[in-house]
Chain A
């Protein structure tokens, strides 16, 4: 394949993504049209369509690219987390709130798009982000080995429940104008209560 053409294609892709990210943040996903994205990126509307099959595909790419940065941060930090399993779970989720609450609108837009009708290719729904699920699974496995988590727990049910709370807390943020710190405080208490169901205590 032609190297120059690939490089051009890549450049177009990056410009479209940058323009889309700005527009989604500024005016929201719904209001942003493909044409506006093309204008801001300085490319033809047709080029956007040859790069991405749909607007939702652009949103998906924007979110993936954003998350890449969060996961790099997590990869660097998680191995060094100290403390009990609860504390480590809380830290990972607090890092998520810190990150996503910089652009809350983008994130809730993404959650809304999860339930959209059109476009056969679904987004990764909240609670199913494989890298986050993997990180949480590792922490829980370490907890079982370390002795503060029971060995007979259903890891999937626990993680799914934890991420449900994580996601729905954003609604709270929207309704009550809460920031990342307050969300993390709420999440800490929720995790503590959920964790009581999988904790290995002296009696058990």
Chain B
């Protein structure tokens, strides 16, 4: 259930036993194989058996490491989200521009990341809408990581006076998040590329950001 990559666990929990290390490698190999097959075939078509075979392991190895296929899929998505959140945090800390530019750069990093593996994203979208209490919680935790980055960007803008102090940050973040996520439909159905997606996001941000700014920009 741990969303963090093995490398991180290894440093945190060093020294590892040889057996512990082997288990981590197995897990990593299964996650990598899972990610590849989910991306190539979609969730339904990628079987546990095929994933095990692709990783050069037995089906039993999958069940020794994950509850079931759904769990493996969730772990793949969580690992991805962690990687992406890390990239976004770096991008956000490097930008010292206005809130609009920072948001665009941070979210464009997300688009660039997911455009490279669109079928996986599509499978994640389908799974995301299927209701299942446990999965909802995992997916909410995943989203939380990225949403909190957006929150940080807006709070910083409030702190440095670019945005008014009486704005509803949660409301604004929710809307930006909805806009960002919903644009993936354009990538999945209409073949939008990175430029198309960020262009659309730019226009969405321009609908809501000016009214949050301290001075109404012309």
* Interface residues of A, Cβ cutoff 8 Å to B: 30, 105, 108-109, 111-118, 122, 125, 127, 154, 157-158, 160-161, 163-165, 167-168, 171, 174-175, 186, 189-190, 193-194, 196-198, 203
Contact = CB atoms under 8 A, between A and B. Distances in A.
A168 B129 CA distance: 10
Nearest to B168: A189
A30 to B, nearest CB: 7
Given A109-B129, A127-B185, A175-B136, 10 more contacts: A112-B126, A112-B129, A115-B188, A117-B44, A122-B189, A157-B200, A158-B207, A161-B178, A163-B182, A197-B207
B126 A174 contact: no
Contacts of B2: none
Interface of B: 42, 44-45, 122-123, 125-131, 136-137, 140, 168, 171-172, 174-175, 177-179, 181-183, 185, 188-189, 200, 203-204, 206-208, 210-211, 216
Q: Is the interface of A mostly helix, strand, loop or mixed?
A: helix
Given A115-B122, A161-B179, A189-B171, A105 B131 contact: yes
B129 A111 contact: yes
Contact of B127 (A105, A112, A203): A112
A159 B127 CA distance: 25
Nearest to B172: A193
Contacts of A203: 216
A125 to B, nearest CB: 6
Contacts of A157: 200, 203-204, 207
Contacts of A194: 175, 207-208
B130 A193 contact: no
Contact of B131 (A154, A174, A198): A174
Given A115-B122, A189-B171, A203-B216, A198 B207 contact: yes
B211 A193 contact: yes
Nearest to A193: B208
What are the nearest 10 A-B pairs in CB distance?
A: A197-B207, A164-B182, A112-B129, A196-B211, A115-B126, A115-B125, A117-B42, A111-B129, A168-B178, A165-B178
Contacts of A193: 168, 171-172, 175, 208, 211
Contacts of A167: 182
A98 B45 CA distance: 36
B47 to A, nearest CB: 14
Interface centre among B128, B130, B177, B183 (most CB of A within 10 A): B130
Contact of A161 (B44, B129, B172, B207): B207
Contacts of B136: 174-175
A154 B126 CA distance: 29
Given A115-B129, A164-B182, A203-B216, A196 B189 contact: no
B58 to A, nearest CB: 27
Contact of B189 (A125, A175, A190): A125
Contacts of A30: 130
Nearest to B126: A115
Contacts of A113: 126
